[in-house]
Amino acid sequence: SLGNNTDGLEIGMVVAWTLSVNPSDSYLECNGQAVDSTKYPKLYALMHNTPDYRGMFLRGLGGNSASLGVTQGDAIRNIVGSLPVNDNVGFPTSTGAFYYGYSFSYGPKDENGTVGGIYYFDASRVVPVANENRPINKAVRYFIKAK
Q: Among 1-5, 23-27, 70-74, 85-89, which range has the highest average pLDDT?
A: 23-27
Q: Which residues contact 83 (CB under 8 A, 6 or more apart)?
A: 92, 93, 94, 95, 98, 100, 119
**Is 72 domain-assigned?**
no
Question: Average pLDDT in the 59-74 region?
Answer: 88
Task: Compute the distance between CA of residue 137 and CA of residue 147 in angstroms, rounded to an integer.
Answer: 30
To the question of pTM greater than 0.75 for the whole model, the response is no
Task: Say whether both 46 and 99 belong to one domain.
Answer: no
Task: Compute the distance between CA of residue 57 and CA of residue 118 in angstroms, rounded to an integer.
Answer: 39
Task: Say whether both 13 and 49 belong to one domain.
Answer: yes
Least confident of 20-29, 52-61, 73-82: 73-82
Instruction: State how many domains the chain has.
Output: 2
Structural domain containing residue 47 = 1-60+135-147
CB contact burial 65-80 (16+ within 10 A = b; e otherwise): eeeeeeeeeeeeeeee
- Residue 127 clears pLDDT 70, i.e. is over it: yes
Task: Say whether both 47 and 22 belong to one domain.
Answer: yes
